[in-house]
Structure 1
């Protein structure tokens, strides 16, 4: 008889505890729903001192803290993007305004022998604008997850040299003398021709914009890896933040002169990674170094 009473009391106690636990779970659910609906940064609390409930509340609070931190990062990035777009609008508007001015001058003085000079300036402005727009479109495409590159077998050594030769006059004009050390043998990788060409174009343009002698370019194959290394002294007293080199819209020169969007190296990094490669940048004793590694085939 006593045993039955004890069992009944234990059963009642168990049911009471279960009821309280279920009610506490509902209370926690209500708190979570309130925080979500009101975007509140309050924390979850529990009146149960039982460890599983305490741990459960702590885990939810950690998740909420992580969520709010990410939200703050997103808001900061959105503000940063707005400021960047404002700056880019200036970049695009400047050559357009200049081009419009020169067009008016040419229109008012058709017979003037200086027309050739004005037309050359206009051509330069148009090329600058096209470069800016091309960089922007490429950057936007690379942000799309569904953007895919068609891969093929490519001789990276040949393509790197051909792309460099296209800038021969530019290097000569700026008195830059690159020391080239490429393996004589062909080095094949699986890549996309347009993307790989754009990678080298951006690197060479970056050298022309910010680089000085001594300047060296090397490409070698070792242990199934193709290694491209670019080294150049940083031009003048230009201050470069190493941690920001691959950041979107980063410019070492904040004066906004020229046609740079600050997207060149960011696009280069995105393209290298799209092709399955690795890229790093470093600065040592005023020497700017870029290394790119691809698997060979």
Structure 2
């Protein structure tokens, strides 16, 4: 016990340690993500960039200033162009007019719905001319404000140096506006009409360069001139800054990778052992937290994420210091909830252990119980009441609800028609027809009942046909078996009347004796079979020691056993086994089986008799190898006047097995036979004595 306790405690400690490791790795990964976000705007690409000129940072330095310049020269051009309305497009004016026209239709008394749209619009333009003009002036003022805002932004750019012109308008932040002058700088970009020069040349391989060229390509190429240059001091400063950021982000990136690997491995381990006390456990052990419904659990997880985001946004200025104390408790709580979901997934109760499922299950179960236990009237009332409630609850999707109801009604009508057609076919005599109705419910139950009736009819017809066939065979076989000795008797009586030789007379009398005895056996067996089949034989059930009965009975027939050189193998329990049966009738059944064995068993073979105590009953089994080929089924062998030798050359009546079965049946037992090749097996099952007393 002490060893098991230590092992169990060690497993608990391991779980706790791994749980803490998951929380710490998760918190560390979050902290590094925040650091990368602050350092480089969340861009991990800097880790894989080779140098500054191939970096996104280099493009970003030029992108902002070029974007403002191209917008300024391409859209606004100059103040005079804006004041003249050159920046106001027809679409903008049309939108403003449409808004004013909507106001005119709603508020103006001049609007006449009886007039055509064109006439109303002309009246609108005359009445709202001042407002339309004011709207145009407002658009011009907005563009002028945006134009001066762009100029102010550009004035703040000391680096990089820029020059842009469209042949009329020129904007620059340096006196060096000649192309050759700008080419003296360590890095520059020159876009002139359809040509471009970029230095250093490796910048052309920068995957982010398209962000600059797209802005340039938006200008009129005929008079386009755009120069951008970087001074050596500016470039060196940016390269140094980029290298420092790259080193910090790279360190954070690999640290983040380490935390993520630790997080994944430790979390997978927790998932593996969640709900288990050992790796050999097959079941899942749940605790108090696992009682929480899974959908409520999911909502709490989402709430924890929202809480974390809200707290982080609230202390964003001090996020570097507070990210760990904020993340650890929320991560621990969230991990416990997630592991609870994992346990239910393992336990295959992920869906069933939800509040929604429980509520719907109880609702449907209640309605189902009422529906299934009620009459058709109750079900009709449920449908009449339930459907309007369903429609009211789903009014926003009423067409869908109506469609489902129509589909349901059509399905039930088709089912009813299927049953109706099936009944017509059965009524017309097609008793082999089966009505196929899937699912459950009144119609399915009705179809099953009708199919049961047809099954009963088929069984009754088959039994009647079998009975008629057996009667025919009985008459044929009885006639044949009785006529054979009777014919011999008549023949030998005629011979006896004419014979004078005493020796032959004696021979004829011996034959007559044999044939008369054979005829007596047949008539006695036939009479006994009739009595056994009718059940009119009186029975006296008593306690019988089945082992003693078998051993004594075998002793009585020992002469026949020795004559046939048979080896009987008897297997029975050590303790005595008592059954409740009629001794005489039981021995008659066993005697018939033994007689069958003596007649048909292969000489010098083994015969097995097994007695088994099955608890509530005792099974007696006889097994022997047939001397004849058993080319007949077990069912046929149980019929009247059937023999193992179809040639009917043996001296049996063919009634032995049938009589044995009937005698066992009236003693509340069971009798059956099995044929496997040449192996013949007969089984008698009778109730134990003690069970009847109880």
* Same fold? TM cut 0.5: yes
Aligned partner of 1:215 among 599, 603, 606: 606
- TM-score, normalised to structure 2, is 0.33
Q: How many residues align?
A: 260
Aligned partner of 1:198 among 561, 575, 588: 588
2 CA distance for matches of 1:58 and 1:232? 48
Partner of 1:83: 472
Q: Is residue 132 of structure 1 aligned with residue 500 of structure 2?
A: no
Aligned partner of 1:273 among 655, 665, 678: 665
Task: Write the deviation string for residues 50-79 of structure 1: whole angstroms up to 9, x where unpaired.
Answer: xx9977985785466345424532441243
Partner of 1:143, secondary structure, is helix
Q: Is residue 282 of structure 1 aligned with residue 671 of structure 2?
A: no
Are the structure 2 counterparts of residues 66 and 226 from structure 1 closer, same or farther at C-alpha, using a change threshold of 3 Å?
Answer: closer
Aligned partner of 1:235 among 627, 632, 635: 627
- TM-score, normalised to structure 1, is 0.69
Are the structure 2 counterparts of residues 112 and 288 from structure 1 closer, same or farther at C-alpha, using a change threshold of 3 Å?
Answer: same
Bigger relative contact order (CA 8 A; separation at least 6): 1
Partner of 1:72, secondary structure, is helix
Partner of 2:683: 291
Question: Could you tell me whether the CA contact under 8 Å between 2:669 and 2:685 is conserved in 1?
Answer: yes
1:203 shift after superposition: 0.6
1 CA distance for matches of 2:673 and 2:680? 7
The structure with the larger Rg is 2
After the TM superposition, which of the residue ranges 89-98 and 244-253 deviates more from structure 2? 244-253
Partner of 2:429: 41
1:123 shift after superposition: 2.8
Are the structure 2 counterparts of residues 55 and 176 from structure 1 closer, same or farther at C-alpha, using a change threshold of 3 Å?
Answer: same
Partner of 2:540: 150
Question: Could you tell me whether the CA contact under 8 Å between 1:91 and 1:256 is conserved in 2?
Answer: no
Are the structure 2 counterparts of residues 130 and 166 from structure 1 closer, same or farther at C-alpha, using a change threshold of 3 Å?
Answer: farther
2 CA distance for matches of 1:161 and 1:65? 50
Task: Write the deviation string for residues 139-177 of structure 1: whole angstroms up to 9, x where unpaired.
Answer: 22233255541222333334334444444444444x231
Map 1:19-58 → 2, pairs under 5 A:
41=429, 58=447
1 CA distance for matches of 2:535 and 2:568? 38
User: Quick check: which one's strand share is greater?
Assistant: 1
Task: Write the deviation string for residues 223-282 of structure 1: whole angstroms up to 9, x where unpaired.
Answer: 555443322111043434234332333322222334433221122122222222333322
User: Quick check: which one's helix share is greater?
Assistant: 2
Structure 2 stretches of 5 or more lacking a match? 1-422, 432-440, 690-694
RMSD: 4.0
1 CA distance for matches of 2:648 and 2:445? 52
Question: Could you tell me whether the CA contact under 8 Å between 2:589 and 2:663 is conserved in 1?
Answer: yes
Aligned partner of 2:578 among 188, 195, 201: 188
1 CA distance for matches of 2:611 and 2:449? 52
Q: Is residue 108 of structure 1 aligned with residue 498 of structure 2?
A: yes
Are the structure 2 counterparts of residues 146 and 232 from structure 1 closer, same or farther at C-alpha, using a change threshold of 3 Å?
Answer: closer
